[in-house]
């Protein structure tokens, strides 16, 4: 049981141990968010010979499944908290199951054919997504229960994003490296799936201990109301949370559009490396350019948020990302290594785009607790995770639709093809102007976010 002061004392600082344990969870969330988004569509189109449109559909169906189950898991997590005093059970279950299904996702050989291969990948990835949601939904609920401090939440989530960005670098660079380490591409993908799945699962398992620390808090936020029984009532509970909390609607709308923007860039990175930079291995350097600056920038965004407020810092990061992404459009006419510079600027912004909204979500939850008397953090985070999933899923779908519309030629492992100029133009635009427009659009709902420091730290 933790000896830290209850979170209703807003000035209390979280212990380094709590911050480290919680941050380690992003080793799992970063890996799961990065590697499938980076290589799964490419694995389907360029290893199993699945058509680009079908590959995008597979990723989308798996993400739709997330949207269906996340609100249910959130409500069930609230019930588990009310019944046992901890959310740890679901988190541990997800951590143990994910490595198995993650490895199976990349274990399908090309010899099975594109149809059978696509079906097997879909089933394995659906199971992987379920395991991840069992961990992620209660994990995102914990900051609201760990502390009631406006600034401590920024600090907690800031360090989480440091680990998250390091995880993106680890999996973004290490995943393709593991793929190359195999004796052939088929073995390489299998090796990547096994090793990456184990690392993700270990990070998730360690972070599950944070749930026991949160269970020791005495804040009203941590004392969840009993979640409603029945599937219909559980979904209605999520919709009621959306309806009654204007700050939640504004923040979720912003984050959904930004997840779509970053998901589009993530899904297009491998294609940019292969067909614009003319090196499949260049995807490693794309991720170094993105994550290296983000590692350094995260503490800076924490400082900025303390001075000007989270919502203003969030808007600043969004504008910076928009400008950086839009500049990559010039690669249609002049491709080259200069792209890494634009990606690095986007990486500085990306650090803020990850840490600030996640630090604002606990504020929304505690504000709802104070004004409406409901302790349903899991319900909020179930809806939040579903929205994030929709954004990333549609990002991959947008890339797949662009590839299909511009005549991208799919292939199987070992076969060489030439892509039409229109397809390469589509790859560049899906990596630049499309995410820039989406990020710019996200500023509209952000303008309607009205919570400020004074609304959170009340006496």
Q: Which of 60-74, 217-231, 263-277 shows the lowest mean pLDDT across its residues?
A: 217-231
Of 100-104, 195-199, 279-283, 359-363, the range with the lowest mean pLDDT is 279-283
The predicted-structure confidence for 326-378, as pLDDT tens digits, reads as follows 999 998 898 888 998 999 999 899 889 988 998 888 888 887 877 776 656 77
CA 422/CA 256 separation, integer angstroms: 29
Over residues 311-323, mean pLDDT: 95
C-alpha to C-alpha distance for 143 and 249, rounded to whole angstroms: 19
**pLDDT given at position 9:** 41
Residue 8 has pLDDT above 60, yes or no: no
Indicate whether 379 pLDDT > 70. Answer: yes
Contact 254, 260 (CB under 8 A): no
Inter-residue contact 378 to 77 (CB < 8 Å)? yes
**Under DSSP, is residue 412 helix (H, G, I), strand (E, B) or coil?**
strand
Distance CA 17, CA 23 (A): 10
Domain 16-209+228-451 has CATH 1.20.1250.20: yes
Q: What local confidence, expressed as pLDDT, does residue 220 receive?
A: 41
The residue extents of the domains of the chain are 16-209+228-451
Neighbouring CB atoms inside 10 A of 421's CB total 10
Sorted by sequence, the CB contacts under 8 Å of residue 88 that are 6+ apart come out as 208, 209, 211, 212, 215
pLDDT the model gives residue 378 = 73
Residue 457 carries which DSSP code?
Answer: S
Per-residue confidence at 51, pLDDT binned at 50, 70, 90?
Answer: confident
pLDDT in tens, 111-165: 888 889 889 999 999 999 999 999 998 998 888 788 778 788 888 888 888 888 7
User: C-alpha 416: how far from its chain's center?
Assistant: 33
Q: What is the DSSP string of 230-254?
A: SHHHHHHHHHHHHHH-HHHHHHHHH
pLDDT at residue 215 in the model = 67
Separation between Cα atoms, residue 84 and residue 162, nearest integer Å: 31
Closest listed residue to residue 395, CA positions, set 257, 264, 268: 264
Task: Report the alpha-carbon distance of residue 376 to residue 322 in Å, rounded.
Answer: 34
pTM: 0.72
Judged on CB neighbours under 10 Å (0-12, 13-18, 19+), 380 is buried
């Amino acid at each position: 049981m933790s000896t830290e002061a209850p979170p209703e004392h807003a000035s209390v600082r979280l212990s380094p141990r709590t911050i480290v344990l919680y941050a380690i969870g992003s080793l799992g969330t970063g890996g799961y968010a990065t590697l499938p988004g980076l290589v799964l569509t490419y694995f389907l189109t360029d290893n199993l010979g699945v058509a680009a449109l079908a590959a995008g559909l597979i990723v989308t169906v798996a993400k739709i499944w997330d949207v269906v189950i996340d609100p249910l898991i959130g409500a069930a997590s609230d019930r588990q908290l009310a019944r046992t005093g901890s959310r740890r059970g679901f988190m541990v279950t997800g951590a143990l199951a994910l490595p198995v299904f993650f490895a199976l996702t990349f274990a399908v050989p090309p010899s099975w054919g594109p149809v059978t291969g696509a079906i097997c990948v879909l089933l394995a990835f659906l199971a992987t997504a379920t395991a991840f949601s069992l961990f992620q939904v209660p994990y995102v609920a914990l900051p609201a229960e760990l502390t009631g401090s406006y600034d401590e939440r920024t600090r907690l989530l800031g360090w989480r994003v440091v680990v998250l960005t390091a995880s993106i670098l680890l999996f973004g660079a290490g995943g393709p490296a593991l793929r190359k380490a195999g004796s052939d591409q088929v073995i390489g993908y299998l090796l990547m799936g096994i090793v990456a799945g184990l690392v993700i699962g270990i990070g998730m398992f360690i972070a599950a201990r944070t749930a026991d620390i949160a269970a020791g808090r005495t804040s009203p936020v941590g004392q969840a109301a009993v979640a409603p029984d029945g599937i219909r009532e559980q979904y209605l509970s999520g919709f009621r949370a959306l309806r009654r909390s204007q700050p939640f609607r504004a923040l979720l709308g912003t984050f959904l559009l930004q997840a779509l923007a970053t998901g589009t860039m993530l899904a297009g990175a491998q294609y940019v490396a292969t067909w614009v930079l003319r090196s499949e291995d260049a995807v490693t350097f794309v991720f170094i350019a993105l994550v290296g600056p983000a590692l350094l920038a995260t503490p800076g965004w924490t400082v900025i948020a303390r001075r000007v407020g989270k919502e203003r810092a969030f808007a600043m990061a969004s504008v910076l990302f928009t400008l950086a992404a839009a500049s990559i459009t010039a690669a249609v006419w002049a491709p080259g290594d200069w792209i890494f510079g634009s990606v690095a600027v986007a990486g500085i912004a990306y650090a803020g785009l990850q840490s600030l909204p996640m630090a604002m979500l606990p504020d929304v939850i505690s504000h709802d607790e104070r004004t409406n008397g409901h302790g349903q953090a899991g319900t909020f985070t179930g809806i939040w995770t579903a929205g994030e999933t929709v954004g990333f899923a549609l990002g991959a779908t947008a890339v797949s639709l662009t590839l299909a519309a511009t005549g991208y030629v799919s292939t199987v492992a070992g076969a060489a093809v030439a892509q039409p100029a229109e397809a390469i133009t589509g790859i560049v635009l899906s990596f630049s102007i499309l995410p820039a427009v989406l990020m710019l659009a996200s500023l509209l709902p952000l303008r309607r976010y009205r919570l400020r420091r004074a609304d959170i730290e009340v006496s």
